[in-house]
Amino acid sequence: MNKNNFFLCQYCGDPVTNRVFQYFSPPKTEIQFKFIEKGKYSREIYRCSLCGHFYSKHSMDSNELYKGGYVDANYEDAEGIRKTYNRIMALDPGKSDNVGRVQCVLAFSDFYYKGLVPPVSPRYVLDVGSGLCVFLSRMKSFGWNCTALDPDLRAKNHAETIVGVPAVCCDFFDFKDNRKFDLITFNRVLEHVIDPVAMLKKAKDFLQADGLIYIEVPDGETAVSFGFDREEFTIDHPNIFSYLSLVFAIKKAGLKPLFIQRIQEPSTKFTLRAFCTVDV
Ligand SMILES: [Zn+2]
């Protein structure tokens, strides 16, 4: 892409021209998705030189990925979901990304709500893109009232029958509900969508006035120095955040960042975690 063929950064508005990676075959960490025709792989990663956000650009048709193809490629079927769920839930706590995530969410919620009256018990959490539902499984065990949402029917059924959590099967952009939640979580979801800001804006419709949004995304800024095969840059991530682009996304959605943390997970993934609330 040259200076006559640029696009504008969704987060800071700067022209994006800097190509950092080019792929003619999938990176080693990428799962084989059915929508990719053999031998026709072509993809590029661009980086905004102002805010550091990464964009994955390609012309392969991945529109229907989350209506079946994602689960097919990752877990094969409902039995595969159940087995992976059991394996992750049985991990030693020190080796589980999910245990660390739950500890972080519980500690921050406890800190944030302390002193807010009247006390509410139990608190309500909506997890968008619940997938294996390991997050809500643990949140439920700490007394939270949980609702799972996933566009794949097998993930929804898994949440209800194996995890015992009420679940909704839909794209979050089509979600309709009269309830307001104390906490809405996006655990490794925003990097999968084309317009993460629109998704965060929509979440405000379902948030209590003093509610929290938790965001967890891959940290492209750290991962980039480890090369193009890193899992943060796979084809299912059209958006890969930097610390600053995550702040800009939160602000553009009319939210206020309260806390942002950069970590490396026990699984070795590089991650950015953020808590935010409605900016009034
Ligand atoms: Zn930018």
Distance 54 CA to ligand 1 centre (A): 8
For residues 127-144, give the mean pLDDT: 96
**Ligand 1 being an ion, which residues bring their Cβ within 5 A of it?**
9, 11-12, 14, 48, 50-51, 53
Q: Are 192 and 237 in contact (CB under 8 A)?
A: yes
pLDDT tens digit string along 6-49?
A: 899 999 999 998 999 999 888 888 877 777 776 788 899 999 99
Please state the pTM of the whole predicted model: 0.92
Using pLDDT thresholds of 50, 70 and 90, give the confidence band for residue 231: confident
Mean pLDDT of the residues in the chain: 91
Q: In what order do the strands lie in the sheet with 43-47?
A: 18-23, 43-47, 54-58, 239-240
- The pLDDT of residue 75 is 72
Q: Which residue has the higher pLDDT, 76 or 1?
A: 76
Distance 55 CA to ligand 1 centre (A): 10
**Amino acid in the structure at residue 115:** G
Distance 158 CA to ligand 1 centre (A): 38
Q: Which residue has the higher pLDDT, 15 or 116?
A: 15
Distance 10 CA to ligand 1 centre (A): 7
DSSP 144-198: -EEEEEESSHHHHHHIIIII---EEES-GGG---S--EEEEEEES-GGGSS-HHH
Distance 240 CA to ligand 1 centre (A): 11
CA dihedral 256, 259, 263, 267 (to 10 degrees): -70
| Residue appearing with tokens 């682009």 | 245
Could you tell me which residues come within 8 angstroms of residue 105 by beta carbon, excluding any fewer than 6 positions away?
Answer: 139, 183, 185, 214
